[in-house]
Amino acid sequence: MPRFMLGTTRVPHRKNTAGIQAVRIPAPATVTLPMSQHIGAPAEPTVKVGDAVYVGTKVGEAQGFVSSPVYSSVSGKVKKIEPYLSSNGRSCHAVVIESDGQMTPDPSIAPPVITTLDEFICAVRESGVVGLGGAGFPTAVKLEAEKKGIIKKIIINGAECEPYITSDTLTMTVDSAYVKKGVETLMSFISADETVIGIESNKPRCIDEMRRVFEGNGKVRVEALPSTYPQGAEKILIYNTTGRVVSEGGLPSDVGCLVMNVTTVAFIAKYLETGMPLVEKCITVDGSAIKNPMNVIAPIGTSIEEIIQFTGGYRADPAKVLYGGPMMGVAVYSTDYPIMKNTNAIVALSEKEAKPKEQHNCIHCGRCVSACPIGLNPTLFARAMKVGDSSERADRLTEAKIGLCIECGCCSFVCPSARPLVETNRLAKADLRNQQAKK
């Protein structure tokens, strides 16, 4: 029976758009394409102002091993190349393209020819795909582990445990044929003995459809997982589908696992069929401030505001707008920000839901410890951050295993004193990294 490593948290599902088909947004007037839409080194612009581009034209070349190319999502002309400050504080360049409204595909687009593992990895790298569930890790880098012969389990993440988000649900119900092709392609190049598709039990249509398309394939197992948060977190998913534990600082490949988001897998199948790189995303638009919750397909680089207005605008003034869901999403300070490769949702919250609760002193109730799926004690991190001596602070954080925190937000969600625990954990991890870098 699938189980959490330790704690569990039940959050509201609010899957309001689960049964709503995605609608394609018209070509936007402009798109803004940051060169950093992934974990790792930013891409380097390969175009200049005034250049004509098409849908699928490369505008940013990957730099380094952990990086990913960026492609134009519209046809038109490069309007400007400017500095860009992302919502997470990272700086890079962004290519701004003025659309001609035609959405003309690049004439050079063609399906890649692959017969070997190296060719497959190269094709995945050139597709520009990264983890589409939100993490944004370049997918091709994960596949390199196969060269060491250590991958024994392929785990497809279809949990989609965050409130509101249903874009992966649509992938599993509408694009199930591409999920099937993607999984079969992976299995033809990855020497795993089994593929496990993990889906929360509150998505019976997805479970039924995945079992239907893989019926008769003895190497694919569809696992119905309990609807408890954060079921989709990588370490949790690995444990609940295989019983294997990824150690602190470790990678899934260390325990013989390759984890991929279900939409990432479906996209790979589409790319191998068409040759069109990653230029658009299916995004859930929802939240208490949204008038008409829906799923939309939009060119990457379209502004958040334009997408929200396409759905019908707001029912209430938005007090907070998030990339992603309310548990692990990132707040933006302007709706002029563009959607990116790893954007799977836009959630806009009204003042009632977004207003922070009044903070109080810790009452030592232990709820944060009980809720943590890894079994950590967030109060130890908060205490350590009050220590003035940096060396002692680093020692305390290391001893308390801050590196195991997956920033799922469960501790903050259950805290009756409304302590900013997950924010403190993030600061603690950054502080420890800085101290280790100095050493």
Please check whether residues 145 and 268 belong to one and the same domain: yes
Question: Has residue 5 got a pLDDT over 60?
Answer: no
In a domain, 89, yes or no: no
Q: Which two tokens stand for residue 179?
A: 């999920």
In a domain, 25, yes or no: no
Question: Has residue 214 got a pLDDT over 90?
Answer: yes
pLDDT value of position 133: 81
Q: Closest Cα to residue 406, out of 175, 186, 237?
A: 237
State which of 250, 274, 298 marks the end of a domain: 274
Question: Has residue 186 got a pLDDT over 80?
Answer: yes
228 and 162 Cβ atoms separated by less than 8 Å: no
In a domain, 187, yes or no: yes
Total-model pTM: 0.94
Please check whether residues 245 and 376 belong to one and the same domain: no
In a domain, 33, yes or no: no
Percent of the chain residues topping a pLDDT of 70: 98
Alpha helices in 253-346 (DSSP H): 262-274, 304-311
In a domain, 307, yes or no: no
Q: What is the mean pLDDT of residues 76-89?
A: 91
Which residues form the domain of 160?
117-274
What tens digit of pLDDT does each residue of 308-348 get?
Answer: 999 999 999 999 999 999 999 999 989 999 999 999 999 99
State which of 249, 274, 299 marks the end of a domain: 274
Question: Which has more pLDDT, 4 or 55?
Answer: 55
Question: CA–CA separation, 104 vs 106, rounded Å?
Answer: 7
Question: Has residue 4 got a pLDDT over 60?
Answer: no
In a domain, 233, yes or no: yes
Please check whether residues 147 and 255 belong to one and the same domain: yes
pLDDT value of position 6: 63
Question: Has residue 82 got a pLDDT over 80?
Answer: yes
Q: What is the mean pLDDT of residues 277-281?
A: 98
pLDDT value of position 251: 92
Please check whether residues 249 and 135 belong to one and the same domain: yes
What tens digit of pLDDT does each residue of 218-264 get?
Answer: 999 999 999 989 999 999 999 999 999 999 889 999 999 999 999 99
Question: Has residue 181 got a pLDDT over 60?
Answer: yes
Q: Which two tokens stand for residue 185?
A: 């392609």
Please check whether residues 122 and 247 belong to one and the same domain: yes
In a domain, 405, yes or no: yes
Number of domains in the chain: 2
pLDDT value of position 1: 43
Question: Has residue 24 got a pLDDT over 50?
Answer: yes
State which of 258, 274, 290 marks the end of a domain: 274
Q: What angle do CA 68, 72, 74 make, to 5 degrees?
A: 155
Question: Has residue 2 got a pLDDT over 50?
Answer: no
Please check whether residues 127 and 255 belong to one and the same domain: yes
CATH number of 268's domain: 3.40.50.11540
Q: Which two tokens stand for residue 271?
A: 């790319």
Question: Has residue 356 got a pLDDT over 90?
Answer: no
Please check whether residues 388 and 252 belong to one and the same domain: no
Please check whether residues 388 and 269 belong to one and the same domain: no
In a domain, 28, yes or no: no
| Most distant CA pair in the chain, distance | 64
Question: Has residue 127 got a pLDDT over 70?
Answer: yes
pLDDT value of position 364: 93
Q: Quick check: helix, strand or coil at residue 154?
A: strand
